[in-house]
Amino acid sequence: MEYEPVRHDTPKVPPRDDHWWRGAVIYQVYPRSFMDTNDDGVGDLKGVASRLDHIASLGVDAVWVSPFMKSPMKDFGYDVADYRAVDPLFGTLDDFDALLEKAHALGLKLMIDFVPSHTSNRHPWFLESREDGTNPKADWYVWADAKADGSPPSNWISVFGGSAWEWEPRRRQYYLHNFLKEQPDLNFHNDEVIAALMEQARFWLERGVDGFRIDAIDYGVHDPELRDNPPRPPGHLRGGGTPGSPWAMQYQQYNKARPQLADRFLKPIYRLSHEYEGRALLGEISGETALKRLAEYTSGGGLDIAYTFDLLLTPLTPQGIREVVEELEGHVGDGWACIAFSNHDVLRAVTRFGGDAAPPEAGAMLPMLLTSLRGTVCLYQGEELGLGQAEVAYEDLQDPVGRTFWPQDKGRDGCRTPMPWTGEGPGAGFTGGRPWLPVPDAHRRHAVALQEADPGSVLNRLRAFLRWRKDQAPLVLGTIRFEAAPAGVLAFTRTYEGREIYAAFNLDDAAAGYPAPFGLRDLGAPGVEGRIQGGTVTLPPHGVVFGESG
């Protein structure tokens, strides 16, 4: 597919003075599944606040809270009906303010999800827009006439399957929805829409949030000519999407990743956030050209940091990780990437690495590897416990993706099951009621309370490591250079202001030993199980080691 570069028709945005997010570790909370304080089976904002001490104890720098705004919950909060209201399921604005205050008291930044590319079909904007073609919000969404035969105006396909166009009898037109039909796309070509979205963002900036994770932002701008997407050859899916959906049979060339996005939306929201000190914008980008666009958007195009699905989907092998990171480094320039192995949309990293029989040692090795790569890190809730993907029975599924594409795609419920705080009861300490998704027995064995009591647990090893990492500037801000290593071992050097740290990770089931690079000494990093001694690097299966010359 031909790549259209971002057109910087307006000047690049100026760099921020405060780069707290560079090399930071951001802990992602999926509030539905974090902690329930009213026993309705769904997590809430009071629950997040009650467990902030656990998050702070990890040594992370910030918290990203996934959607909690008013919503019909067709896509669990990613269908927003009121940008300025907390859904009663999660609490109140007072609960949010208390959460923000406690986070700041613990030294944690707090970022929230902002979902600007689409709203719920129950949002007042859409309810007005759908009535006719002459009302004040008639052009706030993407409307188009049917073709002469009544079929949709283009061949665009929804991520969740089927046409991306839905017929609205009131207007006798189709509207665009790149996700569920209950998630109509806003029209970013309309200046009034952009201005209204800025006001929604300002509401939260005024409350004191430290930034936004901007959801699915490359779906924000569509091709006004509504040209058909070209076909994608079989096996060419990369960078996000639902493999079981016909969505994967197209290149999303005209309904996403349009070159006007930076100037239409990213730069305006950046300039808004620049009015407030210490804010950050983290964008979600997907598709074949995501790494290139990450570089352009984060080097003056309107984002501070961005992540793609490349590391979230690539095989967790030395070759797979190295290929993605080296391609990223080849593009990023003076931009900045966010890196993650897991989140609320993809298979948990432990299972992606080793399947259902993943070794326990991988639970500690993978987050140590993640937080040693170059970039800002997003650590998903449960990664600090070594949780794998949950198997959710069909009758328990909640996710529309799983219900539609089962069994080829079981959806996202398996990475969204509740946090196991204890090993007891149906709710495993998450709730006193019936949890909205079941807690698997395998997760109970990894419960926080059980790991707290074990000095050698994944939780305690990772805590010690992340606290140590904070004082290792090369691991936070340094450049990265991959090194030769035996098969199964990923090794690289991070360099910052003349100091170099060598890191090696054994992704194999067998122990590895090899001559240490000249003059390398063991740094004695806490929580790791590898050693550099007598001129030899020794790594047990899934072991880790850090060294320094001198």
pLDDT > 70 fraction of the chain, expressed in percent and rounded: 97
Map out the domains of the chain as residue ranges: 25-120+188-466, 478-549
What pLDDT was estimated at residue 195? 98
The answer to whether the CB of 6 falls within 8 A of the CB of 293 is yes
What's the rounded Cα separation, in Å, for the pair 550 and 548? 7
pLDDT > 90 fraction of the chain, expressed in percent and rounded: 91
pLDDT band per the 50, 70, 90 thresholds, residue 8: low
Reply yes or no on whether the pLDDT at 347 is more than 60.
yes
The answer to whether the CB of 392 falls within 8 A of the CB of 414 is yes
H/E stretch holding 97 reads helix 93-105
Give 443-497 as a DSSP string: HHTT-HHHHHT-TTSHHHHHHHHHHHHTT-HHHHH-EEEEE---TTEEEEEEEET
25-120+188-466 and 478-549, same CATH topology: no
The owner of tokens 């940008």 is 83
Give 277-339 as a DSSP string: TT-EEEEE--STTHHHHHHHHTTTSS-SEEE-SHHHHS-SSHHHHHHHHHHHHHHHTT--BEE
Mean pLDDT in residue range 319-339:
97
Give 361-423 as a DSSP string: THHHHHHHHHTTSSSEEEEETTGGGT--PPP--GGG---HHHHHHTTT---SGGGSSPP-SSS
What's the rounded Cα separation, in Å, for the pair 547 and 522? 4
Which one from 79, 95, 113, 215 is the annotated catalytic residue? 215
Mean pLDDT in residue range 302-311:
97
Digit-coded pLDDT (tens) for 71-125: 999 999 999 999 999 999 999 999 999 999 999 999 999 999 999 999 999 999 9
What's the rounded Cα separation, in Å, for the pair 343 and 383? 9
Mean pLDDT in residue range 424-431:
95
Residue 267 structure tokens: 């730069």
pLDDT band per the 50, 70, 90 thresholds, residue 291: very high
Reply yes or no on whether the pLDDT at 5 is more than 60.
no
What's the whole-number average pLDDT of the chain? Answer: 95
What's the rounded Cα separation, in Å, for the pair 162 and 155? 10
275 flagged as catalytic: yes
Digit-coded pLDDT (tens) for 238-260: 666 666 789 989 999 999 999 99
Residue 62 structure tokens: 């910030």
- The stretches of 13-60 forming alpha helices (DSSP H) are 45-50, 52-57
CATH of domain 478-549: 2.60.40.1180
Reply yes or no on whether the pLDDT at 316 is more than 70.
yes
Cα 121 to Cα 89, 324, 464, 494, distances in angstroms: 19, 37, 46, 48
What pLDDT was estimated at residue 241? 67
The answer to whether the CB of 388 falls within 8 A of the CB of 440 is no
CATH of domain 25-120+188-466: 3.20.20.80
pLDDT band per the 50, 70, 90 thresholds, residue 484: very high
Bridge partners of residue 176, in order along the sequence: 165
Digit-coded pLDDT (tens) for 442-473: 999 999 999 999 999 999 999 999 999 999 99
Listed residue (183, 214, 165, 185) closest to 73, CA to CA = 183
Digit-coded pLDDT (tens) for 42-62: 999 999 999 999 999 999 999
215 flagged as catalytic: yes
Which one from 225, 275, 395, 497 is the annotated catalytic residue? 275
pLDDT band per the 50, 70, 90 thresholds, residue 437: very high
Give 58-75 as a DSSP string: TT-SEEEEPP-EE---TT
Q: Which amino acid belongs to residue 172? A: R
